[in-house]
Structure 1
Amino acid sequence: MSELKKAIDQISKDRGIDRDLLIDTLEEAVRSAVARKYGETMDIEVAFNEDNGEIEVFEFKVVVEDVHDPISEISLEDAQEHDPNARIDDEMGFPVKVEDLGRIAAQSAKQVIIQRMRDAEQEIIYEEYKDRVGEISSGIIQRRDRTGWIINLGRTEALLPKDEQIPRERYKRGDRVQAYIVDVLKESRGPQVVVSRSHPDYMVELFKREVPEVADGTVKIMGVARDAGLRAKVAVMSRDRDVDPVGACVGIRGSRIQNVVQELKGERIDIVVWSPDIAMYAQHALSPAVISRITVDEEEEALEVVCPDDQLTLAIGRKGQNVKLAAKLLGWKIDIFTQSRYGELNADRQGMDQIASVAEVAMDKFFAAGFNTIESITEATDEELLAVDGLTESKIADMRVAINMLIPGDATVEESVEETEEAIETPVVEEEVVEETTEATKEESETPADGEEEE
């Protein structure tokens, strides 16, 4: 076996590059070197001879009577010296010695081979890792650059960007780390594998490793929300009634979840039960806080959550972490109120509703004009209130009477308005008339009726 053939077989085995691709690359490199030495007009053919393991190069010329281009033509006389049967317009092939290509042409051929081999190797790496997106890969911290840490994965390098790292996690050269492959990019320097340790799906893959029920699909992870390095919420459901999804993920004495926590450097993980009922799901997601009631606005995908006054801190969490993670897990907006605050707001809303009823104007029109509370209406001038679509001066007057009657007492606006109207319709009686009437009544009561005897 020739040295060239041995080299091809060895490179193919070590680099994992297809042997035929290597031979094609070699032939192309030699063809390029011949063209560089003799010109592009030369008609050549390059082939690898498997029998002797050598590259063979042939140049082809057309047999003519008068030669005008020595590179592509040969006279009939010269042609017949090689082949007595040669005729005009025949095409004849002549071997070209590769050794005659010269140092510059040989160097060019070498560069082409190296570049083609590098391209082929990079393509293989790209094809391998693009199919591994979504997997966990392990490597060794190699160095740090301006974009993040470079991790040696063996056949290639991966980038762990700054925004994909766990905050406050520190690395040093030589540390072994594992991360989640999020993307593989084609770059001019070769494929760029991008990995993450803060991605929510990284936690999913870790649970698949530690929890057999998650790996086989008995327990399904419905969602993950992470504040990487600090806290996370994982929503789970079971396809089997006999399997507790939370217990399966936690494990005996927390053995399973503890392995995940250790890998994530102490990140606290809350396992909650997923529910198709968004209110129930939200109640689980906001644990450990106790929730009193939840109002669902499906159109706006918003939740109004009411909790006991002493549960507000738990519901919101440190720096709002608990409610933020719950909102991220659900994909809904969450507003939290204490029972006392909700009572105040609800009373104010009822008052606004009654005021709008007296004015015969929809509450939305008040809101659109910027009047959201009874106080804002009270403080506004008549000119400002006329900006509310549908309000007139007479309606504003009725509305102000209703507000004055509503604020001091517990009666509803409608009752207050009725009492006001009755007071307006009742005639005023002068004091003198009242006194005379009182005295006459007194005298009548003292005079004995007919038929009665005085004592």
Structure 2
Amino acid sequence: MAITSANQLELLQTAEAVAREKMIEPELVIEAMEDSLARAAKSRYGAEMDIRVKIDRKTGNASFTRVRTVMADDEVENYQAQVTVEQARPYLDDPKIGDEIIDIVPPVELGRIAAQSAKQVILQRVREAERDRQYEEFKDRAGTIINGVVKREEYGNIIVDVGRGEAILRRNEKIGRESYRPNDRIRAYIKDVRRETRGPQIFLSRTDPQFMAELFKMEVPEIYDGVIEIKAVARDPGSRAKIAVISYDSSIDPVGACVGMRGSRVQAVVGELQGEKIDIIPWNEDQATFLVNALQPAEVSKVVFDEEANKIEVVVPDEQLSLAIGRRGQNVRLASQLTGLDIDILTDEEESKRRQAEFNSRTALFMEALDLDEFFAQLLVAEGFTNLEEVAYVDQDELLTIDGVDGDTAAELQARARDVLEAKNKAALDAARALGVEDSLVEFEGLTPQMLEALAKDGIKTLEDFATCADWELAGGWTTVNGARVKDEGLLESFEVSLEEAQTMVMTARVLLGWVDPTELEGEPEADETEDDDDTPNQEAGA
């Protein structure tokens, strides 16, 4: 088949037809045709030649040209497509590097193989243009809800027609045991749009917490208008969910607005989520109050918050324990996801037993160490004293507030406490030295004898050993393993050394050893933390 014998306007008509079908620009199709014809011409005249094809956008006439570029003498590599300045003089009046010599070449005869190759080039370019168009259209729609029609099912995954493209709803993104048939209408959340070699991949989800948030935005005008904000969402897809909302207008009840008249709004969302039960909770800046709300319908007696561990203990009445935990731990798990806290639930009886055990152990400590009778030791514990250090170094006026304690008694108590602490410090220091701790570490400011003993038992005996420690190894931290937070015990965590204190001590040791320039110390803790994180993947900062 020869180009010259074909109807030249047919090229333009074909380009327009393909462009309309694929919803891309006709110019892209024509450029693909030019590229395919150029490749066919190269197979005829020689692969090393620079053959270019230009199709007239009005007449459809295809012109074939051979281009040779003027290059410096030492840069010519392809003698079929490049020439020196001297070689170009017969063709150009004043040739310069970068000029081009353009010669018209006869149109090629497209044989069966060449025509098939040209067709493949055009199809490939059209597919690429179609993928680019799809990606540009959907990339900004991630995070929104889309309606589509089910086309087919592949290995449990649902292929959805979303208009100008196809999307995939993986089986793990379906609610429960949802099943769909071809031509069923489906509503889903666009979780991600990625550009891949096979084209843009549009990933849908019906289990993502944000799917429920977007459904509420569609059903509740106040959320769409920004008067009410969804602060957090937690879901057990197909079973139960919790959503925390706040109103920026004091005259609007956020929970009532989301529920709607006779539950009409929330029921519309529940129906879309296959009957998933939804708890709508008022959000509160105070974490303890928010947690109490999140554990509804269970009643909470007391909340104890551990800021360092980002952990919270909740005390509930004995009869409320099963309700607070929920079926298979569902209620407390959703509350934990909603608040971002690790939650331990205790009954009043369990909490009372634990407090009594702490009270008894502290009483026994004061009785043995300070040689006190049980009543006086209990009096100290009841006043809030928890260890010998507090008794030894507290301002004496605080001891005088205790009934029956005068100046002499207070002085005697502190003297006894200091004597016991000094004896313990001497014993711990002797034990550390016996384990091989060197003076460089003993003299390092900030480490107590008990700390030195703990470090020595773990093989840290010199200042160099200490300087190589990571901050979380000393203060403790949390590691995320398979989505669960696992506690890492720190060597000095029992001495209540915080992460910041551990960072400061480690950096100070490195400065003393000359490993770090003190003038560059500013900002080093963050760098140190990053370095440590590189060594321990998923390690979370914090004790």
* TM-score, normalised by the number of residues in structure 2: 0.60
Tell me if the contact between 1:37 and 1:101 (Cα under 8 Å) persists in the aligned partners. Answer: no
Matching residue of 1:79? none
Q: 1: CA distance between counterparts of 2:215 and 2:67?
A: 64
In the alignment, does 2:108 pair up with 1:106?
no
Matching residue of 1:53? 60
TM-superposed CA distance for 1:192, in Å, is 1.5
Matching residue of 1:382? none
Q: 2: CA distance between counterparts of 1:24 and 1:48?
A: 8
Letter in 1 for 2:90: I
Matching residue of 1:88? 90
Tell me if the contact between 2:12 and 2:30 (Cα under 8 Å) persists in the aligned partners. Answer: no
> Over residues 399-451 of structure 1, what are the superposed CA-to-partner deviations in whole Å (9 max), with x where a residue is unaligned?
xxxxxxxxxxxxxxxxxxxxxxxxxxxxxxxxxxxxxxxxxxxxxxxxxxxxx
> Over residues 108-130 of structure 1, what are the superposed CA-to-partner deviations in whole Å (9 max), with x where a residue is unaligned?
11110111101110111112111
In the alignment, does 2:35 pair up with 1:28?
yes
Matching residue of 2:473? none
SS of 1:7's partner is helix
Cα separation, partners in 2 of 1:180 and 1:364, compared to 1, 3 Å: farther
TM-superposed CA distance for 1:301, in Å, is 1.4
SS of 1:52's partner is coil
In the alignment, does 2:287 pair up with 1:266?
no
Letter in 1 for 2:106: V
TM-superposed CA distance for 1:39, in Å, is 0.7
1:195 equivalent among 204, 213, 238: 204
Cα separation, partners in 2 of 1:149 and 1:390, compared to 1, 3 Å: farther
TM-superposed CA distance for 1:4, in Å, is 1.6
TM-superposed CA distance for 1:61, in Å, is 8.3
TM-superposed CA distance for 1:173, in Å, is 3.3
TM-superposed CA distance for 1:340, in Å, is 1.9
Cα separation, partners in 2 of 1:225 and 1:391, compared to 1, 3 Å: farther
Tell me if the contact between 1:164 and 1:195 (Cα under 8 Å) persists in the aligned partners. Answer: yes
2:330 equivalent among 310, 321, 334: 321
SS of 1:172's partner is coil
Q: 2: CA distance between counterparts of 1:171 and 1:50?
A: 47
Letter in 2 for 1:229: G
Q: Which blocks of at least 5 consecutive residues in structure 2 are unaligned?
A: 1-7, 70-78, 83-88, 93-100, 371-384, 389-423, 428-543
TM-superposed CA distance for 1:5, in Å, is 1.4
Tell me if the contact between 2:190 and 2:203 (Cα under 8 Å) persists in the aligned partners. Answer: yes
TM-superposed CA distance for 1:178, in Å, is 1.2
Matching residue of 2:11? 4
1:345 equivalent among 345, 354, 360: 354
Tell me if the contact between 2:65 and 2:102 (Cα under 8 Å) persists in the aligned partners. Answer: no
Matches within 5 A, 1:237-252: 237-252=246-261
Matches within 5 A, 1:67-146: 88-89=90-91, 93-98=103-108, 100-146=109-155
1:168 equivalent among 156, 169, 177: 177
Q: 2: CA distance between counterparts of 1:306 and 1:41?
A: 81
SS of 2:192's partner is strand
Q: 2: CA distance between counterparts of 1:193 and 1:122?
A: 11
TM-superposed CA distance for 1:175, in Å, is 2.3
Tell me if the contact between 2:144 and 2:190 (Cα under 8 Å) persists in the aligned partners. Answer: yes
Q: Which blocks of at least 5 consecutive residues in structure 1 are unaligned?
A: 63-69, 74-86, 366-388, 393-455
Q: 2: CA distance between counterparts of 1:42 and 1:26?
A: 19
* TM-score, normalised by the number of residues in structure 1: 0.71
Q: 1: CA distance between counterparts of 2:204 and 2:276?
A: 19
Tell me if the contact between 2:246 and 2:254 (Cα under 8 Å) persists in the aligned partners. Answer: yes
SS of 1:108's partner is helix
TM-superposed CA distance for 1:294, in Å, is 0.9
% same residue: 43
Cα separation, partners in 2 of 1:103 and 1:182, compared to 1, 3 Å: same
Letter in 2 for 1:287: Q
2:309 equivalent among 296, 300, 306: 300
Larger radius of gyration: 1
Most deviating of 264-273 and 146-155: 146-155
Q: 1: CA distance between counterparts of 2:293 and 2:81?
A: 84
Letter in 2 for 1:50: R
Most deviating of 176-185 and 219-228: 176-185
Letter in 2 for 1:97: P
Cα separation, partners in 2 of 1:307 and 1:3, compared to 1, 3 Å: same
Please identify runs of 4+ aligned residues in structure 1 that moved more than 4 A: 70-73, 359-365, 389-392
Q: 1: CA distance between counterparts of 2:45 and 2:116?
A: 15
Matching residue of 1:425? none
Letter in 1 for 2:200: P
Cα separation, partners in 2 of 1:170 and 1:20, compared to 1, 3 Å: closer
Letter in 2 for 1:253: R
In the alignment, does 2:186 pair up with 1:177?
yes
Cα separation, partners in 2 of 1:97 and 1:254, compared to 1, 3 Å: same
Cα separation, partners in 2 of 1:132 and 1:72, compared to 1, 3 Å: closer
Q: 2: CA distance between counterparts of 1:342 and 1:220?
A: 36
Matching residue of 1:84? none
Cα separation, partners in 2 of 1:127 and 1:359, compared to 1, 3 Å: farther
In the alignment, does 2:25 pair up with 1:18?
yes
> Over residues 286-317 of structure 1, what are the superposed CA-to-partner deviations in whole Å (9 max), with x where a residue is unaligned?
11111111111111111111112222222111
Q: 1: CA distance between counterparts of 2:150 and 2:110?
A: 46
Most deviating of 310-319 and 184-193: 184-193
Cα separation, partners in 2 of 1:339 and 1:126, compared to 1, 3 Å: same
Q: 2: CA distance between counterparts of 1:275 and 1:42?
A: 72
Letter in 2 for 1:238: S
Letter in 2 for 1:18: E
Tell me if the contact between 2:189 and 2:204 (Cα under 8 Å) persists in the aligned partners. Answer: yes
Cα separation, partners in 2 of 1:359 and 1:158, compared to 1, 3 Å: farther
In the alignment, does 2:223 pair up with 1:214?
yes
Letter in 1 for 2:44: K
Matching residue of 1:152? 161
Cα separation, partners in 2 of 1:290 and 1:360, compared to 1, 3 Å: same
Q: 2: CA distance between counterparts of 1:13 and 1:351?
A: 84
TM-superposed CA distance for 1:71, in Å, is 8.0
Tell me if the contact between 1:139 and 1:151 (Cα under 8 Å) persists in the aligned partners. Answer: yes
TM-superposed CA distance for 1:95, in Å, is 4.1
SS of 1:342's partner is helix
Letter in 2 for 1:349: E
Cα separation, partners in 2 of 1:275 and 1:61, compared to 1, 3 Å: closer
Cα separation, partners in 2 of 1:32 and 1:360, compared to 1, 3 Å: farther
Matching residue of 1:67? none
SS of 1:300's partner is coil
Q: 2: CA distance between counterparts of 1:391 and 1:325?
A: 50
Letter in 2 for 1:45: R
Aligned residues: 350
Letter in 2 for 1:54: N
Q: 1: CA distance between counterparts of 2:110 and 2:245?
A: 69
> Over residues 100-154 of structure 1, what are the superposed CA-to-partner deviations in whole Å (9 max), with x where a residue is unaligned?
2333222211110111101110111112111111011222223333362222223
